[in-house]
Amino acid sequence: MKMFENNIHYTFKNKSLLELALTHSSYANESRTHTEYNERLEFLGDAVLQLVTSEKLYKEHPDMPEGRMSKQRAALVCEDALANYSKQINLGAFLFLGKGEENTGGRERPSILADAFEALIGAIFLDGGIENAKKFILRFLDDKDLHLQDYKTLLQEIIQKNPGERLSYIVVGETGPDHDKSFDVEVKLNSNPIGKGFGKSKKAAEQQAAKEALELMGYHFR
């Protein structure tokens, strides 16, 4: 656990909170003794994450309307984003998983990683208070992240200016085993392809396809 604490730059006073945050329900279900798992911490961590992200957007983007802030926050705390944050601290390697999840790629499963990341936030909040939880979260919500766009929404807003135009996203290919699939997606304007994307989920691939379409229209992103 010391190695993981080094990864997250936080040392727990109550080590049992850290163990609980890393305990998946599959591990608890296979245990012969009553074992708690991280779903309640996940619930708490989600609320803390929403608050910290909302505060940062509110303070650093005074001209951003409420609707755009909601979409921006959604992009920053979606499952794909949280799974990516968890990989930056190698969270998957420290999870307590049942044998079934272990054998089917649970340590790399985005939903498990995202849930455990939120549980970790909840654990830090209980152990060290809101300031420590905030410090941990803001490591991932740096200035670069705040310039990320919800490319699908932006593309939709542009296309809606032309009545009669219609966007659609089509999965044109899948690769990998069921527990670790990747998707190729094409975005079409009416029947014409205008962008392609690739990702570990359909949503991520759709975002990349929308981004490519926007770049072909002359938009530039960092």
Give the active site residues. 46, 118
CB atoms within 10 A of CB 80: 17
- Give CA–CA dist 77/221, Å, rounded: 20
Q: Which residues pair with 192 in a beta bridge?
A: 189
Reported residue count of the chain is: 222
Measured CA distances, 70 to 55, 134, 181, 210 (Å):
12, 19, 29, 19
Measured CA distances, 214 to 18, 101, 154, 184, 189 (Å):
42, 38, 8, 17, 12
Residue 105 Cα to chain centre, angstroms? 18
Q: What is the CA radius of gyration of the chain?
A: 19
Identity (one letter) of the amino acid at 166?
R
